Amino acid sequence: MSEIRPDDWRLSGEGAMTDKQRRMLNAVCGDLSEQLQWHGNRLTKDDWRHMVAGTILGWRMMPAIDRGEGASGWIMLGGSSLKLSRSQAAEAITALIQIGDHPDEQRLRARPVRWSDTVLLGMGFNPRDFAEAA
């Protein structure tokens, strides 16, 4: 599998998200899921992807399914990350990196995320520059 570079995911256009953008988005979401809680909630990699896709593509609120227990409240639906355009995928990745680098801007009490080698390469950094001294 080839490395991801900044030019691979910082794309614009209405075409479908590329494979390298999808891989970068998944890597960023994986790092966030392992290291950051969203306002006290531990999100999975899929949860992070759903949250950013809904934020970028827009949310719809509707009544939840009534399972025979009376009023069941409301749910919010967003779009699938697979529906992101190239420009939207770049926006989503950038937003998630910003959250990981500066969690305080989202009122999260957390340290900045320590990005995986895949994400560091995708941001244009050499992972060895971030390795702890042995």
63-94 pLDDT, tens digit each: 888 888 776 789 899 999 999 999 999 999 99
Residue 116 domain flag: yes
pLDDT in tens, 4-50: 999 999 999 999 999 999 999 999 999 999 999 999 999 999 999 99
Residue 71 domain flag: yes
Residue 130 domain flag: no
Q: For residue 105, what are the domain limits? A: 6-123
Give 123's DSSP letter.
T
Residue 131 domain flag: no
CATH of the domain at 74: 1.10.3790.10
**pLDDT on residue 70:** 72
State how many domains the chain has. Answer: 1
Out of 48-57, 62-71, 104-113, 122-131, least confident range: 62-71
User: Tell me, what amino acid is at 107?
Assistant: R
Concatenating the DSSP letter of every residue in 6-26 gives: HHHH---SSSBPPHHHHHHHH
**pLDDT on residue 8:** 95
Which of 61, 58, 106 has its CA nearest to residue 84? 58
Which of 122, 126, 104 has its CA nearest to residue 29? 122
Residue 128 domain flag: no
